[in-house]
Amino acid sequence: MELLHNLETGFVAALTLQNLLYCFVGCFLGTLIGVLPGLGPVATIAMLLPVTYTLPPTAALIMLAGIYYGAQYGGSTTAILINLPGESSSVVTAIDGYQMARNGRAGVALFTAGAGSFVAGCIGVLILAGFAVPLVDVAFEFGPTEYAALMTLGLVGATILSSGSLLKAIGMVIIGLLLGLVGTDTNGAPRYSFGIDELSDGIGFVAIAMGVFGVAEIIGNVEKDESRSSSVSKITSMWPTRADIGRMVPAVLRGTAIGAFFGILPGAGAAVASFSSYAMEKKISSRPEEFGKGAIEGVAGPEAANNAAAQTAFIPLLTLGLPASATMAMMLGAMTIHDIQPGPQVMASDPALFWGLIVSMWIGNLILIVLNLPMIGMWVKLLAVPYRALYPAILVFCSIGVYTVSNSDFDIYLVCLFGAVGYLFSKLNCEPAPLLLGFVLGPLMEENFRRALLLSDGDFSVFLTRPIPLVLLVITGALLASILLPAFRRTREKAFVEN
């Protein structure tokens, strides 16, 4: 009964005209950036953060969330029709989806991707709503000691489960931690400000996010080949056969379960979930030879996985204040910009915002079905717009947005600097997501660590005598120890580096 009451509160908040409008705007923008390769949800949310200053907190978070899970839908359209994934999580969809299109089954592939995404998204929201209350009850038992241990686990998990080289991921986390230390510490002493007044309050979240993700993406994509062609001249029937449905439904359910799990893990996210789902479908299939040639399970499973992961990624953020990915770190930044303290107190202090955001995801999934399936032709035509005509406008928009945050020219210089740094990282194959997680979680970990030691009179054993911190640190130690296992390194290399 309590869950029904909470959902009623959410529907009342989400169904206001303003919140419905911003839910539509977020889904539309998410689909747009999913269709257009080169700008992902992280970069787009980073660029739109300044715009949210003028919005109510609930409307702002609903719009940003719509951008995130909307991009998972949009990325599959171009992946299937022209073998050009709009999102990293849609790379797997292109393997069999494009082959289905070449075989004259583009409509069925698009229907499979849309239906799988919708079902997984709805189930993911149900999981989020169901887990929210018990997890919040547990989170209320957290104090500074527990949060310090939790942040440590989040940083280690994000490092080990991030894509690419493990050594580079560790380096990126350390850089993020160091950037988070810039400014003034809790005792009022300046750190790494080098006498620059503008750095006395630290590096702005918007500046570093917009530079490393937004500007760096634009610089990198300017040099890419824009040629794209489609082998699909006309989309015929979109309805799958009974045999297709028999193969599709179990794959969607399995993909949803995999995505729900990986969405919660720090550093994993939608891309890892989709790769894992594809690997499982191919392994358990009675017709593995069809994979890569147009297997419908190769579309249904990964699409369900990446959308379920997009929904359940909100669980640790909303209940514990712990971002599980770079996009969730952006959402955490948006919450702090609006003076919302992430964590279990959000549900108690502002239930309309908490449950309104959750219910808006259901509504958003319905909007995305309407935006994606009937309007496929429009999205494909957008690919005819040359990217070089879009980039200058995006850069001007970024500059105006970051300037309005604090009316400081210095922030624009920081965006340019971090844009160049982010581009350098991409050339070195360094994934920037761990950097942002380190930048966000580092100061929070330091603050709670200091509080824990103050409350315990400097006794470090408090982390081992309290049950929750002990369990979290044991898990952290197990993750660190797993790095030494050859089998784990080989599995990680295959899952994260090669893909």
Higher pLDDT: 336 or 373? It is 336
Q: By three-state DSSP, how is residue 20 classified?
A: helix
Q: What is the pLDDT of residues 435-479, one digit of tens each?
A: 888 888 888 888 888 889 888 888 888 888 888 889 889 988 888
Q: By three-state DSSP, how is residue 466 classified?
A: coil
Termini Cα distance of the chain: 44
Contacts of 126 (CB under 8 A, 6+ apart): none
List, in sequence order, every residue forming a beta bridge with 190; answer none if it has no partner.
184
> How far is 485 from 471, CA to CA, in rounded Å?
21
> How far is 499 from 494, CA to CA, in rounded Å?
7
> How far is 213 from 218, CA to CA, in rounded Å?
9
Phi then psi for residue 117, to 5 deg, are -65, -40
Residue type at position 293: K
CA-based angle 392:396:402, to the nearest 5?
140
> How far is 126 from 320, CA to CA, in rounded Å?
18
In this prediction the pTM is 0.72
Look up residue 18 and give its two tokens. Answer: 């303003």
Spatial contact of 120 and 307, defined as CB atoms under 8 Å apart? yes
Q: What is the pLDDT of residues 9-60, one digit of tens each?
A: 888 888 899 999 999 998 888 888 777 655 667 777 777 777 777 888 889 8
In 140-241, alpha helices (H): 144-161, 166-181, 205-209, 216-222
List, in sequence order, every residue forming a beta bridge with 184; answer none if it has no partner.
190
Q: How confident is the model at residue 376 (pLDDT cuts 50, 70, 90)?
A: low
Phi then psi for residue 184, to 5 deg, are -120, 130
Q: What percent of the chain has pLDDT over 90?
A: 4
Domain ranges of the chain: 2-498
Q: What is the DSSP letter of 485?
A: -
> How far is 499 from 493, CA to CA, in rounded Å?
9
* Widest distance between CA atoms in the chain: 72
Indicate the range of 92-96, 111-115, 186-190 predicted with least confidence: 186-190
Spatial contact of 71 and 87, defined as CB atoms under 8 Å apart? yes
The string of DSSP letters for 135-165 reads HHHHHTT--HHHHHHHHHHHHHHHHHHSSS-
